[in-house]
């Protein structure tokens, strides 16, 4: 229970009733939810069923980062699901990503953006792709400086 507190003029000012406070808190929470981006679990991107057991929540997530290291085959399998569902996918900095193999995996080549060598501007290219394409595969050309990482986030 909250005790009454003295008002500046010496009168006793009481706190709002618990029901009114609860109502205000709920109102503010609703406003915050409205201002926040959609939750990641609401933006699941389908992928190959065989990959569901190794992905958080069983799917890729827009806005999330998943590391695929050392296997172009695994990367193609991961990209095939989103591509089959009609989403655009992009691959940057991975020159050995072959379009013939990608097509055999079921990746729609008409919805594939391929940037084999973005050069030293790889981060700018990755950021531009991520702004418009829901699933982007990137091989960094080097380590990120802290200032670069903060601009990309």
- For residue 11, the model assigns a pLDDT of 55
Q: What is the mean pLDDT of each run of 10 residues along the chain (153 residues)?
A: 53 65 83 60 75 84 79 93 93 95 96 94 90 90 75 60
User: What pLDDT sits at residue 148?
Assistant: 72
Residue 117 exposure: Cα atoms within 13 Å on the Cβ side:
3
Asked whether residue 11 is domain-assigned, the answer is no
pTM: 0.67
In a domain, 97, yes or no: yes
Specify the number of domains making up the chain: 1
Q: What is the CATH number of the domain that holds 94?
A: 3.40.50.300
Does residue 124 form part of some domain?
Answer: yes
26 within some domain: no
Q: Decide the pairing of beta strands 89-92 and 135-138.
A: parallel
Q: Is residue 8 part of a domain?
A: no
Residues across the chain: 153
**CA gyration radius for the chain?**
24
- Parent domain of 67: 40-152
């Amino acid at each position: 229970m909250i005790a009454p507190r003295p008002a500046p003029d010496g009168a006793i000012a009481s706190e709002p009733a618990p029901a009114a406070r609860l109502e205000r808190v709920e109102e503010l929470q609703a406003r915050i939810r409205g201002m926040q981006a959609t939750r990641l679990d609401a933006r699941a991107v389908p992928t190959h069923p065989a990959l569901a057991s190794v992905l958080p929540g069983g799917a890729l997530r827009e806005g999330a980062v998943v590391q695929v290291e050392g296997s172009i085959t695994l990367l193609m399998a991961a990209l095939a699901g989103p591509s089959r569902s009609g989403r655009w996918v992009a691959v940057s900095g991975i020159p050995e990503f072959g379009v013939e193999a990608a097509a055999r995996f079921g990746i729609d080549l008409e919805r594939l953006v391929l940037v084999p060598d973005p050069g030293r501007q790889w981060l700018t290219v990755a950021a531009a792709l991520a702004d418009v394409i829901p699933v982007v595969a990137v091989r960094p050309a080097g380590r990120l400086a802290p200032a670069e990482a903060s601009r990309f986030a």
